Amino acid sequence: MKHVMSVSLGSSKRNHKVEINILGEDFIIERVGTDGDKKKAIELIREYDGRVSAFGLGGIDLYLWAGNRRYIIRDALHFANAAKISPVVDGSGLKNTLERRVIEYLQRENLVEFRGKKVLVVSATDRFGMAEALEKTGAAMTYGDLIFALGIPIPLHSLRTIDILARIIIPVVARLPFEMIYPTGEKQESTKSKYGRFFEEADIIAGDFHYIKRYLPSKIPGKVIITNTVTSEDVKMLAERGASMLITTTPELEGRSFGTNVMEAVLVSLSQKPYKELTPRDYEELLDKLAFLPRIEKLN
């Protein structure tokens, strides 16, 4: 049996574990939160290195993307380097493949009307594939990278601008403690009434769920949410606040949509190639075999 473990800096209240058969292989898939404790996360990776098929990194990105450039988050390297045998992935491979496909699928099947709609992507550098696919639909885009990661309430409206800013800002940001730019631990369980106008102006809210949840207004009538990593409590909260539809880019497994890091670790476990040699084309072929479809749930 293959074993995929997502080690997350997020809250342990969001832990989950399922046993499932995928393409004829039995899997244990589990998410283990360390409540923001970096030392504990690294110890966990060392303890299970070689005992699990692959690790996913949750609550922290190993890479940020803008244009064709990949930027490494220094804090995350400590986690990746803790494993010497088992592969460690952060989901960026799937963010650049699966999430593009999901947007194209939603448009092709007329499940969501994007053209002319206002779309807020809370962080394009975290979800560059999704952002590029959304921009191609003809939607009016707003990117919240400066707002939600850096607390600078300036919306951005083009990926070209983000690419230029990223070359200046990310080399500095990538050296900061990750908790300064992303909600970790208990911050994932609380919300702040801030930046509400950016949510209110949008028809569709997309991207990392913890950024969305952290700043989500108390009322979001009619909004479409495109994200993942949601629990049943999160779905209930979105419905109570008035969201019309929830779409998760990763499938529902026993009531839970795991993060892209988890699903990428599953693909790496299924692949016959060393994970560092996997190309976007390899991910595309594996996704074709799995025939993953997004979870689409009408809430109101």
pLDDT value, residue 137: 97
C-alpha to C-alpha distance for 3 and 20, rounded to whole angstroms = 10
E-only strand ranges, 207-275: 224-227, 245-248, 252-253, 256-257
pLDDT digits (tens, 9 = 90+) for 223-265: 999 998 898 999 999 999 999 999 999 888 877 788 889 999 9
- Whether this prediction's pTM lies above 0.75 is answered by yes
What are the boundaries of each domain within the chain?
2-90+259-293, 96-252
SS3 at position 64: strand
Bridge partners (DSSP) of residue 256 are: 253
Joined together, the tokens standing for residue 71 give 């930027």
- What are the angstrom distances between the C-alpha of 23 and each of 2, 158, 289? 12, 39, 8
C-alpha to C-alpha distance for 88 and 66, rounded to whole angstroms = 22
Q: Is the separation of the CB atoms in 28 and 4 below 8 Å? A: yes
Is a pLDDT exceeding 90 seen at residue 141?
yes
pLDDT value, residue 111: 96
In terms of phi and psi (left: phi > 0; alpha: psi -120 to 50; beta: otherwise), the region of 216 is beta
Q: Is the separation of the CB atoms in 61 and 95 below 8 Å? A: no
Task: Residue 26: count other Cβ atoms within 10 Å of its Cβ.
Answer: 11
From 12, 91, 20, select the one nearest 44 (Cα to Cα).
Answer: 12
The pLDDT mean for the chain works out to 91
From 154, 188, 221, select the one nearest 59 (Cα to Cα).
Answer: 188
Joined together, the tokens standing for residue 294 give 């997004």
Joined together, the tokens standing for residue 270 give 């299924």
Q: Is the separation of the CB atoms in 69 and 44 below 8 Å? A: no
Averaged over 12-39, what is the pLDDT?
92
pLDDT digits (tens, 9 = 90+) for 147-156: 999 999 999 9
The CATH number of domain 96-252 is 3.40.50: yes
Averaged over 30-53, what is the pLDDT?
95
Task: Residue 176: count other Cβ atoms within 10 Å of its Cβ.
Answer: 15
Q: Is the separation of the CB atoms in 214 and 256 below 8 Å? A: no
- Provide the residue type at 237 as one letter: M
